[in-house]
Amino acid sequence: MKSSVLLLLLCAAVLTVATLASEAYPSGYDTASCDVDLLPVRQEVYDGGRIFDISHRYTPDMPSFDSDEGIGQFLWLPQSMKNGSIANNSEMKMQTHTGTHVDAPGHVFDHYFDAGFDVDTLDLEVLNGPALLVDVPRNKNITGMCF
Q: What pLDDT does residue 87 have?
A: 94
Q: Where are the domains of the chain?
A: 2-27+37-95
Q: What pLDDT does residue 42 have?
A: 58
- Residues 64 and 53: their CA atoms lie apart, in Å, by 20
CA 7 from chain centre, in angstroms, equals: 14
Q: Shortest CA distance to 46 belongs to which of 108, 114, 128, 115?
A: 128
Count CB atoms within 10 A of the CB of residue 97: 13
Q: Shortest CA distance to 4 belongs to which of 54, 46, 52?
A: 46
- Residues 52 and 133: their CA atoms lie apart, in Å, by 10
Q: Express each pLDDT in 9-60 by its tens digit.
A: 554 554 444 444 444 444 444 445 555 555 655 556 767 777 777 788 888 9
H-run or E-run covering 50: strand 49-51
Mean pLDDT in residue range 122-143: 79
Specify the 3-state DSSP secondary structure of 5. Answer: helix
